[in-house]
Amino acid sequence: MPTANHVENPLEYVVERMSWMVAGIGRAIAARPRVRELVAPPKVRRIGPADLWASLREGMADLGAVRDDVAFVAIIYPIAGLVLAAVAFHYELLPLVFPLVSGFALVGPVAAVGLYEISRRRELGEEVNWATGLKVLQAPSLGSIVGLGAILLILFTAWLLVAWSLYAVTLGPQPPTSLSGFAREVLTTPAGWTMTAVGVAAGFVFAAVAFGLSAVSFPLLLDRDVGVARAVETSLRAIRENPATMALWGLIVAGGLALGSLPAFAGLILVMPLLGHASWRLYRKVVVAPGAEG
């Protein structure tokens, strides 16, 4: 338990605030009335790489037809700006730069929910604009969407804890004194190589768990109010039925987010809408629609 004179390090501060937020989300979900249809588990199809390329092509067509989706992604920039500003003025945050950037893939599906909603409503023939993504707040399954988002947020927080711990036992525990000194230690010392290798391996595990939880879960929850457990179960079944194809999709998404993060997250203004629309299209290919399950 912290003492009266205890000064929080940056990670403790982030974790404490996130725990408050997750607790608030839990209370909001518990207080929300829930009406859910009792339906059979959604069926999944076998798909191949051709379906991935088709989803990307269709997502690109959506991106060209719905220009307002780019405005929705503008919410990323205040967050990215705060992170970059903090790093610029606080060298103690340098060990978290890579975990923060790479960890975006863990919570990316949450940021893309509004894009799924744009795709869904356009599919229904409705007119869409920049505010259409906010209509996800009207979804009957909002509580489940928020709950699954909270799970990914907890996973992201755990990843930051692991990343900070790796730094503490290799190059730390003292924070870096300069950017050049930190880069030199990471690139030229055995401790830096160990931190990088173990960090990449740990990051892969976290990314695999996040992908398993969310591969088709969020689009499914927007489409049908099936609950978090069934949505995640369907996501895992989709991966189990299509292991190689879904693994390739995970690599495409991770690679797209990594490229989009350079420079200074600017590429995300195109990558996020494309991946969001394509993910919805892929969901339609892999999960059998109601009425077509017989």
Assigned domain for 292 exists? no
pLDDT at 53: 96
Mean pLDDT of 8-14: 52
Report the share of the chain in percent with pLDDT over 90: 37
pLDDT at 179: 79
pLDDT at 33: 47
Confidence of residue 7 (pLDDT cuts 50, 70, 90): very low
Assigned domain for 293 exists? no
Confidence of residue 251 (pLDDT cuts 50, 70, 90): very high
For 113-142, the pLDDT digits (tens) are 888 888 888 888 877 766 777 788 888 888
Assigned domain for 215 exists? yes
Asked if 152 and 106 touch (Cβ cutoff 8 Å), the reply is yes
For 57-89, the pLDDT digits (tens) are 988 887 766 665 555 555 555 566 566 556 655
Output the 3-class SS for the chain: CCCCCCCCCHHHHHHHHHHHHHHHHHHHHHHCCCCCCCCCCCCECCCCHHHHHHHHHHHHHHHHHCCHHHHHHHHHHHHHHHHHHHHHHCHHHHHHHHHHHHCHHHHHHHHCHHHHHHHHHHHCCCCCCCCHHHHHHHCCCHHHHHHHHHHHHHHHHHHHHHHHHHHHHHCCCCCCCCHHHHHHHHHHCHHHHHHHHHHHHHHHHHHHHHHHHHCCHHHHHHHCCCCHHHHHHHHHHHHHHCHHHHHHHHHHHHHHHHHHCCCCCCCHHHHHHHHHHHHHHHHHHHECCCCCCC
Assigned domain for 5 exists? no
Domain count, the chain: 1
For 187-216, the pLDDT digits (tens) are 999 999 999 999 999 999 999 999 999 999
Q: What is the phi/psi pair of residue 288, to 5°?
A: -70, 130
Asked if 59 and 275 touch (Cβ cutoff 8 Å), the reply is yes
Domain that holds residue 65: 10-29+47-286
Assigned domain for 38 exists? no
Mean pLDDT of 255-284: 81
* Conformational region of residue 227, where left means phi above 0, alpha means psi within -120 to 50, and beta covers everything else: left
Assigned domain for 245 exists? yes
Q: What is the phi/psi pair of residue 287, to 5°?
A: -105, 125
Report the share of the chain in percent with pLDDT over 70: 73
* Mean pLDDT rounded to a whole number for the chain: 79
Mean pLDDT of 17-35: 51
pLDDT at 189: 92
